[in-house]
Structure 1
């Protein structure tokens, strides 16, 4: 029996069929939005390629090779990721040097290039030569958000595996099947929009803290009590939250105000924070529909400013003041 693929769908079916048939291309290009489980799928595919089981359906998950992939130390899988903002030619040369040696434990080697569109032109040309003339049996897996950032000649050497956005309901069902509650799975599915990022956020140590802060801040703003600016300072600025922490907080806060919009419109079936419906309806009653729509945009605008490297504390304080109507 084979292991379950990290992301179910057409991409997984295509890759499983190739493994079962034993017909592998020398290079694949995984294309899709960021955090769509492409890295996890690449690992699973590599595990299937290197699997030692005699069964047609791979990976088995039990053989020595599969266990080494799971432990993260299989010698015949090499990762290539950007150093800083780009993948440089020296990184490609290092992989070429490594693969010039005979595969240690398998008939094939696998190298996985994440954010492949961030290769420099020199690195892309070196990779192209490597794709055309690999020194040993090699399978390349390139992962990119858009193929326009890649050399057309590199794209032409790869079999493209498209990753499509899954419906939120499908992500929610998958998360629930993994042991998450209905309320948590629904929130994760809508806030993060992809199975990969939703799974990652579900295991995030600050998940509960972020959701609690969303509720607290929205209550202080709606009821005009407490000190929302002090709350931001005490909960985010003083503890020194990372950019990723703040991004996730703003994602959750934006969905909270979207829920207020849906509550105002009577669309309770669309509310994402399903275990907070009474509080959401109560808050929605204190604002006009126009104000609520504007509040969603205020949060999204703060996120855009932070992505443009604005000062974190000033951007969050400005957001709070705007949410208060000041």
Structure 2
């Protein structure tokens, strides 16, 4: 997220960083850690910073003096730090999904590697990213190393939420929860690291749900244009009085289905707009689409909370069905008919 090295490069995760620094300073490192949280909040970056701090030569020379937590960080300049930052250290092992899955063959290969002693590191660190992508066989195979951790080896698993993992895996890890980033931090990151114009950065920071990865995607003018089109269409369709314009709703369904690779993203934008309509009357500051506040408020004023929640439920049903590989056009047609009011 920044060009700095080590923990000081991590934005907005003060509690997780403080806990990791305490482990290092006090010599109480758990053999396995689970970092959970949304994509794009700094989990993998923190895992790398942790590996650096565990092997930094400069920090090693001062850690016995029990420095203040602020001073517990990798120097970024010694040979281990440079190798880890450059993804060139032989004892920092990274495992990630192949084609969206972590298979048992990958875990078996990892276990074979861990039978050998570390090449040069004080602490060998295994970073297993997106651990929720492990199939059951892979998860069960990983239990072996979690139950009998090799000497001088630490495991860091990252996942969206711990409920996505086998309970037996979770129970053998020290769990650290990463929070969504606040809008102010995201705005600063977008401006300083991405060169994003201030107004665009402010808009995207409010929309991305605390994820820098999502913010980078949304800062694309094409995403913003699609968001504008969807919010405008949603407000326009919902504010038609009298008999619902079924043909107009079905035309919108056809247009949404025409961009197959963007359907889920489009439905997430619709949900976001409906959620804003729910909160705009009670607390306008909580509206994510602040630049569409007036239109959202005008639309929300025509519906009860029950009606708005019903439309959100319609979108959630469609998302669930699409993820089960149902026919996209039929699913979207059913969704818009519910949203038009024919099923309420």
**Shorter-normalised TM-score: what interval?**
0.7 to 0.9
Tell me the SS of whatever aligns to 2:125: strand
1:46 correspondence with 2:51: yes
Cα 1:247–1:47 shift into 2, 3 Å: farther
CA contact (8 A) 1:2 1:61 kept: no
Cα 1:237–1:50 shift into 2, 3 Å: farther
Cα displacement string for residues 41-99 of structure 1 (whole angstroms, at most 9, x for unaligned residues): 32332232233434652233444544444444443222334567865443222113333
1:188 correspondence with 2:208: yes
- How large is the Cα RMSD of the aligned pairs? 3.5
Cα 1:37–1:318 shift into 2, 3 Å: farther
Cα 1:232–1:161 shift into 2, 3 Å: same
CA contact (8 A) 1:299 1:319 kept: yes
CA contact (8 A) 2:107 2:138 kept: yes
Matches within 5 A, 1:111-260: 111-116=126-131, 123-124=138-139, 126-131=141-146, 137-144=152-159, 145-146=161-162, 149-150=165-166, 152=168, 157-158=172-173, 160-163=174-177, 165=179, 171-178=182-189, 179=191, 181-189=201-209, 195=210, 198-204=211-217, 205=220, 207-224=223-240, 227-234=248-255, 236-241=256-261, 245-260=262-277
Structure 1 distance, partners of 2:170, 2:45, is 21
Task: Normalising by structure 1, report the TM-score.
Answer: 0.76
Cα displacement string for residues 228-266 of structure 1 (whole angstroms, at most 9, x for unaligned residues): 5445544x433431xxx4333322211211222334x45
Tell me the SS of whatever aligns to 2:74: coil
Paired residue for 1:192?
A: none
Structure 1 distance, partners of 2:304, 2:146, is 59
Structure 2: state its 5+ residue gaps: 1-5, 63-70, 192-197
Structure 1: state its 5+ residue gaps: 190-194
Structure 2 distance, partners of 1:187, 1:267, is 16
State the Cα distance separating 1:202 from its structure 2 match: 0.5
Tell me the SS of whatever aligns to 1:272: coil
Cα 1:29–1:279 shift into 2, 3 Å: closer
Aligned residues: 308
